[in-house]
């Protein structure tokens, strides 16, 4: 990769940039280096696309998980005069444990455990699925 200097950029810059203060010129050069030089804006738009995919997937998964957990918790608590059936009590205990563990650990720790211990994704689509699943599990709690 060839080094791109401020002076080389300034030699090719349009007149409206040359009429600015040097601090503004340096700021515009840094913007050019970050976003435009070597089509780096494509990396940012690709990252934005992946962010939207993971966000929407995790949101959908989180709503489904949260709805299931809410139904189990409310159905267990709706039994006021008598004890709920044994399968429902077991499910309620599992839900309480799930909520305690997921709410009690930081999301970054959950991502690291899921990415390096449980799923171990090797391709980019697998990494996206890992992110969706982890963030969906986290938001479902």
State pTM to two decimals.
Answer: 0.74
pLDDT of res. 66 = 93
List, for residues 85-138, the tens digit of each pLDDT value: 888 889 989 999 999 999 999 999 999 998 899 888 888 889 899 999 999 999
Element housing 7 (H / E): helix 6-12
Using an 8 Å Cβ cutoff, are 69 and 140 in contact? yes
pLDDT-derived band of residue 1, with 50, 70 and 90 as boundaries?
A: low
Measured CA to CA, the distance from residue 67 to residue 79 in angstroms comes to 19
Residue pair 58/131 in contact (Cβ under 8 Å)? The answer is yes
pLDDT of residue 136: 94
What is the rounded distance in angstroms from the CA atom of residue 9 to the CA atom of residue 13? 6
Look at residue 33 in the predicted model and tell me its pLDDT: 83
Q: Check if the beta carbon of residue 119 is closer than 8 Å to that of residue 130.
A: yes
pLDDT above 70 for 2: no
Three-state DSSP class for residue 60: helix
Residue 117 to residues 2, 105, 114, 137: CA-CA distances in angstroms? 40, 16, 6, 16
pLDDT score, position 65:
94
- Residue range 31-76, pLDDT digits in tens: 888 888 888 888 889 999 999 999 999 999 999 999 999 998 888 8
Q: What are phi and psi of 116, to 5 degrees?
A: -110, -15
């Amino acid at each position: 990769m060839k080094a791109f200097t401020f002076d080389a950029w300034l030699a090719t810059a349009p007149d409206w940039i040359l009429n600015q203060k040097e601090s503004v010129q340096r700021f515009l050069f840094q913007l050019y280096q970050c976003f435009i030089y070597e089509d780096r804006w494509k990396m940012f738009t690709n990252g934005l696309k992946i962010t939207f995919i993971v966000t929407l997937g995790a949101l959908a998964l989180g709503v489904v998980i949260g709805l299931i957990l809410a139904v189990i918790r409310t159905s267990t608590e709706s039994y006021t005069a008598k004890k709920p059936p044994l399968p429902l009590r077991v499910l309620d205990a599992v839900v309480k444990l799930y909520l305690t563990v997921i709410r009690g650990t930081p999301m970054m720790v959950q991502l690291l455990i899921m990415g390096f211990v449980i799923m171990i994704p090797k391709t980019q689509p697998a990494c996206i699925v890992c992110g969706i699943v982890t963030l969906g599990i986290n938001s479902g709690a």
